[in-house]
Amino acid sequence: MAPLGRRGLLPRTASTLGLLSMAMGFAALRGPLAPSMAMAQTGDSPATAAVLGAYLVRAITSYLPGLALGAVAYALYLRRGSEGRSKTLWCLAAVLFAVMAFLGPVMLESAKGSSHAPSQVQAPTPAPTQLPHSGEVVLSHDRSSCMRVADPRHPEGDAVEEGWQRLLWTSMADAIKNGEEQVVMVFTRQHCPWCDRLLPVLQRAIAKRAAAIAGGNPEGGGLLSSPLRIFTYDAQEFMPVVQQFQLEGFPTILAFGRPGVKPRMVPGYLGDEDFDKLIVDSAEAEPEPPKGARKKRRFLFR
């Protein structure tokens, strides 16, 4: 049996563990960190500094266990003292410390690898934003098609930002208040086949009104000679509004006329002719007289 002394089994074990630890540290430095160094070479100076700092920390933590084990082995070789039980216990304690120093970083690295990806300096990838089902139906710039614009800040309808629902509702409310454009609200629901069938009807109505105004031949005066603005509101995205109107069926159309005219609500799907009749009747409707107002008398009766 090999002795446990200065030139025995324990010093050789400590030396072997030290060499293995340093080899593992060298392999770790050439592994996951290498792609980060390549990325830093093509990036900006803050990214490069961050990667270099991470590299130095990784180098110290990788080589430190091996250096500690090597120091333990060297101390065992140079140990001078009395032979006997005290030296044997000291050697056992030194080897136990060496094994703990060797296994500790290995276990820690294994735990990190099982729950996290390799450390790399990467820019955060934004989550894709799904366009909502609500918005204003508008013509494209070349008037060849229609699109839905949910956020007035993005007239191309290609993106939305926080607060788009409030801005969409404010845009519709301002148009109704000004009374210079005819406004139609359409409440829809996702996976509703009649709502999907109604959308082309709305698009054709907008294109027809725009063509009449551009050609100088509108159907009549007043709102019929002004742009037609149609806003669609999905029930899930505007649930408080749906509850306020106490809507139960979809689609539901709410057509506005001039200021002071009560809007007309029609539940269900409408074809081109019926929808056209609805917006014409709403545009030509007269405001109701205020409550309590006396009718004007003619001739001798006053």
DSSP characters over 11-80: HHHHHHHHHHHHHHHHHHHHTTHHHHHHHHHHS-HHHHHHHHHHHHHHHHHHHHHHHHHHHHHHHHHH--
Q: Read off the pLDDT of each residue in 102-126 and give the average, rounded to a whole number.
A: 50
Statement: the pTM of the whole predicted model exceeds 0.85: no
At 226, is the pLDDT very low, low, confident or very high (cuts 50, 70, 90)? very high
Q: Read off the pLDDT of each residue in 260-270 and give the average, rounded to a whole number.
A: 95
Are 142 and 275 members of one domain? yes
At 215, is the pLDDT very low, low, confident or very high (cuts 50, 70, 90)? confident
pLDDT at 180: 93
pLDDT at 299: 46
Among 24-28, 89-93, 227-231, whose mean pLDDT is lowest? 24-28
Are 140 and 280 members of one domain? yes
Q: Is 122 a member of any domain? A: no
Q: Is 51 a member of any domain? A: yes
Give the DSSP H or E segment for 267.
strand 264-267
Are 243 and 142 members of one domain? yes
85 has pLDDT over 70: no
Which structural domain, as residue segments, surrounds residue 261? 135-284
* DSSP β-ladder status, 182-188 and 228-234: parallel
- In percent, the amount of the chain with pLDDT more than 90 equals 45
Are 263 and 141 members of one domain? yes
Are 164 and 238 members of one domain? yes
CB atoms within 10 A of CB 19: 14
Q: Read off the pLDDT of each residue in 142-167 and give the average, rounded to a whole number.
A: 93
Are 221 and 85 members of one domain? no
- Count the domains in the chain: 2
241 has pLDDT over 50: yes
Q: Is 123 a member of any domain? A: no
Q: Is 66 a member of any domain? A: yes
Q: Is 27 a member of any domain? A: yes
Supply the DSSP symbol for 8.
Answer: S
Are 101 and 139 members of one domain? no
At 217, is the pLDDT very low, low, confident or very high (cuts 50, 70, 90)? confident
Q: For the range 46-49, what are the long-range contacts, defined as Cβ-Cβ under 8 Å and sequence gap of 24 or more?
A: 47/121
Q: Is 14 a member of any domain? A: yes
The answer to whether 168 and 152 are in contact (CB under 8 A) is yes
Query: To 10 degrees, what angle do helices 272-284 and 193-214 make?
Result: 60
Are 206 and 263 members of one domain? yes
Q: Is 1 a member of any domain? A: no
Q: Read off the pLDDT of each residue in 150-159 and give the average, rounded to a whole number.
A: 94
Are 66 and 206 members of one domain? no
